[in-house]
């Protein structure tokens, strides 16, 4: 599945058409995607696309895995006075399966033999560059944090973590 599929699904929805009519200056500013890879009866796949309305200084999130598509205001989105919300270009595209293969290849290179159970992707812009920030949950309470630059199609960060790394951090904070 690719990103443009979800964007087009949203753009052609009745809910978005109404929203865009009421907020013509709204623009795509972020996205969130949850991909459940663990075989089970109930998979928890989610897709959210977020739009910012400059005049209202508000963000709205469209939940695409609902029928009809659900729109919700985002209350606390971390907007600071000195940070500008950046637009994600309409022609942004990437393929989730290709990204998963890139992660799997890097896992092989790093000699990580665990299975991917869940992938969380956050689409963001920073300094006019579209970045995907990923959290990949792997078997045995492992986790991989990645960043992927969409312009040059490069993995720019890859860090393996374990659940126990977070326990150590929490213990240090309590001292």
Q: Which of 26, 15, 36, 22 is nearest to 120 (CA)?
A: 36
pLDDT at residue number 117: 94
pLDDT at residue number 159: 94
pLDDT at residue number 112: 93
Give pLDDT tens digits for 104-120: 999 999 999 999 999 99
Torsion sign over Cα 34, 132, 108, 169? negative
Token digits of residue 102:
């890139």
pLDDT at residue number 129: 92
Instruction: List, in sequence order, the alpha helices (H) in the chain.
Output: 3-11, 14-22, 96-109, 163-174
pLDDT at residue number 126: 84
Q: Name residues of the chain where pLDDT drops below 70.
A: 41, 76-83, 163-175
| Residue 87 and residue 29 in contact, taking contact as beta carbons nearer than 8 Å | yes
pLDDT at residue number 53: 94
pLDDT at residue number 165: 66
pLDDT at residue number 83: 61
pLDDT at residue number 170: 56
């Amino acid at each position: 599945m690719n990103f443009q599929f979800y964007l087009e699904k949203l753009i052609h929805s009745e809910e978005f058409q109404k929203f865009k009519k009421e907020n013509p200056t709204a623009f795509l500013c972020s996205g969130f995607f949850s991909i459940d890879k663990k075989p089970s009866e109930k998979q928890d796949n989610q897709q959210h696309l977020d739009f910012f309305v400059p005049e209202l200084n508000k963000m709205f999130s469209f939940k695409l895995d609902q029928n009809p598509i659900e729109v919700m205001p985002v209350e606390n989105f971390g907007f600071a006075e000195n940070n500008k919300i950046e637009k994600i270009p309409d022609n942004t595209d990437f393929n989730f399966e290709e990204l998963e293969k890139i992660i799997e290849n890097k896992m092989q290179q790093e000699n990580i033999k665990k299975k991917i159970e869940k992938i969380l992707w956050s689409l963001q812009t920073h300094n006019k560059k579209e970045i995907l920030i990923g959290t990949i949950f792997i078997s045995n309470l492992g986790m991989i944090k990645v960043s992927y630059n969409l312009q040059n199609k490069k993995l720019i960060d890859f860090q393996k973590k374990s659940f126990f790394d977070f326990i150590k951090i929490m213990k240090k904070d309590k001292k």
